[in-house]
Structure 1
Amino acid sequence: MTFQQIIYQVDGPVATITFNRPGQMNALTKVLEAELRTAIETAGRDKAVRAIVLTGAGRAFCAGMDMEELAVLPPEDIQAEEWMRPYDMNRRADYQTRYTYFPAAPKPIISAINGAAAGLGLIMALYSDFRIASDKAVFATAFAKRGLIAEHGIAWILPRIVGHANATDLLLTSRKIDAAEALAMGLVNRVVPADELLAQAQALAATLSSEVSPRSVRVMKQQLWEAPWQTLGEAVALANAEMVQSIRSEDFTEGVQHFVERRPARFTGR
């Protein structure tokens, strides 16, 4: 598979997707956007892949929409038919729109944020399951400084991660924050030295691929992303139904056996 603006690599059970426009701080174009979705969907279908790492080439993660392309982009493009996908009836429609499809991926997505994550770059990080930041990373919503609004569900997802007060601050002021402040408000899971970022993100992906059941990870990811729409009773009912299926699974049998036999697990994801 050949891409123009991303790099797609699979190493064992880990797929690494790299934004590859370093000279433009990996600013998002229509080409990059389409390639990213194709790559994530490809990794999701690949039975050998168990985790996805997303990062950027050069000094930025993704600095938002390419300004030259944004300047000539017709307003109607945001709802253009070319960005629509047939809905998967087994997954919530909310997570299948143009930028909110990360939660619908059946594999965990780890954003390794190596530099600037602004605008749409920040949105993609927010919809990831893990966010590991370089100590050189910076974050900004940026929309208010461009005369725009809280795009693509960020007004929904950001308060759920950092709280209403922090989300209001970041959205209305568009100020930049560094990695330390991002960690303090819970925007990222951890901050690591820049030269260790990719290795640590891939190590987390390897852990998710080998030390825990990929079936469990898949189901729990879905539970977590369903929870904002559920009552407690609905969440418990779903958990009870999934618990029955998990006890019947090969991974449950293996989970017990490898513990009793004191050996590494050999999960199949079934």
Structure 2
Amino acid sequence: MDYQEITAGVQDAVCTITLNRPERLNAWTGRMQAEVEQAVRAAAADEAVRAIVITGAGRGFCAGADMAILEAGAGGKAPESAKTVAAAPAAPAADGLAANYAHRFSYLLRVPKPVFAAINGPVAGIGLCLVLFCDFRYMAEGQKLTTAFARRGLIAEHGAAWMLPRLVGPTHALDLLLSGRTVATAEAAAMGLVRPLPAQDFLPAVQGLAREMVQAASPRSIGVIKRQVWDAFFQDLDASWKQADEEMLRSFASEDFREGVAHYIEKRAPAFTGR
């Protein structure tokens, strides 16, 4: 794919998507948003990919919305190219349960593969919203994050008010959102928001963790379990239980179930197909 503001590549079943505006600390634009979603959806459809890692080029992960967008918005004249970032998206065409996965970043929850945020440098605003909707958040030691919204006269946008309390609890979420203060890796880890890793060889370490997770497990099982976990946020126990019973019956009929039993009995590495 011919991307301008990101790069994407696959190695050993892991697709790494890199926000690639290092001179602007990978500040978010409408083009970057479209390219990230395009790359994620391509990786989701690629049978050679079993995990996705999103990171930033240079010394930052994402500094938030590009300042040109914020300045234009403050003047009441957001440029056409910026509207996909500055303005709220149109109501999703989907309804019911599916509508929850049709928003700017919530589509990541429906990707049938684990999505890892590799937070290599500072992250703020809309960049933080992106990582909230990743399945796993790893952060290099000594880095910083901030919601920033309240300090710019803005509100908790892009699903942050819904997702952040579910990840860290309402007290921590309100602290981060209302104060807009800067939080270092260690404090973010103590809240349960991220998992810290040494800054040296950070990205290879995250890629290794992603690879290790998917090598031994059925890609079909991973996709179904991920869907069960996120669907459960919108279900009661009875609905979640019934969904599990239905999925268990489907699992019994799958190739991956037969391979899961066979490789265990034969004491060999698995050869899952995802079917």
TM-score range, shorter chain: over 0.9
**Structure 2 residue aligned with 1:153:** 159
Secondary structure in 2 aligned to 1:184?
helix
Give how far 1:99 is off: 2.7
**Structure 2 residue aligned with 1:174:** 180
Secondary structure in 2 aligned to 1:131?
strand
Match 1:230 to one of 226, 229, 235:
235
Give how far 1:153 is off: 1.1
**Structure 2 residue aligned with 1:137:** 143
Give how far 1:69 is off: 2.1
Query: Partners of 1:133 and 1:202 in 2: how far apart?
Result: 13
Secondary structure in 2 aligned to 1:60?
coil
**Structure 2 residue aligned with 1:112:** 118
**Structure 1 residue aligned with 2:259:** 254
User: Is the Cα–Cα contact under 8 Å of residues 208 and 214 in structure 1 kept in the other structure?
Assistant: no
Give how far 1:72 is off: 1.8
Secondary structure in 2 aligned to 1:54?
strand
Secondary structure in 2 aligned to 1:17?
strand
Q: Which runs of 5+ in 1 are unaligned?
A: none
Query: Partners of 1:246 and 1:90 in 2: how far apart?
Result: 25
Which whole-Å deviations, capped at 9, do the CAs of 1:131-182 have from their partners, x for residues lacking one?
A: 1110022111100011000001111000000000000100000011111111
**Structure 1 residue aligned with 2:218:** 213
Change in Cα spacing, 1:208 to 1:216, as seen in structure 2 (3 Å) is: same
Superposed structure 1 runs of 4+ greater than 6 Å apart: none
Query: Partners of 2:19 and 2:142 in 1: how far apart?
Result: 17
RMSD: 1.8
- The aligned runs of 1:1-270 (5 Å cut-off) are 1-73=1-73, 77=84, 78-79=87-88, 87=94, 92-188=98-194, 190-270=195-275
Counterpart AA for 1:231? D
Which whole-Å deviations, capped at 9, do the CAs of 1:236-265 have from their partners, x for residues lacking one?
A: 110010011111111111111111111111
Change in Cα spacing, 1:178 to 1:2, as seen in structure 2 (3 Å) is: same
Give how far 1:126 is off: 0.6
Which whole-Å deviations, capped at 9, do the CAs of 1:173-209 have from their partners, x for residues lacking one?
A: 0011111111111001x21111232112111221233
Give how far 1:86 is off: 6.0
Counterpart AA for 1:149? I
Query: Partners of 2:142 and 2:270 in 1: how far apart?
Result: 36
Secondary structure in 2 aligned to 1:28?
coil
Query: Partners of 2:9 and 2:142 in 1: how far apart?
Result: 24
Give how far 1:113 is off: 0.5
Query: Partners of 1:195 and 1:92 in 2: how far apart?
Result: 40
Counterpart AA for 2:155? I
Give how far 1:80 is off: 5.4
Query: Partners of 1:108 and 1:50 in 2: how far apart?
Result: 8
User: Is the Cα–Cα contact under 8 Å of residues 140 and 185 in structure 2 kept in the other structure?
Assistant: yes
Change in Cα spacing, 1:90 to 1:209, as seen in structure 2 (3 Å) is: farther
Counterpart AA for 2:267? R
Counterpart AA for 2:226? K
Query: Partners of 2:117 and 2:271 in 1: how far apart?
Result: 26
User: Is the Cα–Cα contact under 8 Å of residues 92 and 99 in structure 2 kept in the other structure?
Assistant: no
Q: Percent identity?
A: 47
Q: Which runs of 5+ in 2 are unaligned?
A: none
Query: Partners of 1:25 and 1:248 in 2: how far apart?
Result: 48
Secondary structure in 2 aligned to 1:18?
strand
User: Is the Cα–Cα contact under 8 Å of residues 93 and 99 in structure 2 kept in the other structure?
Assistant: no
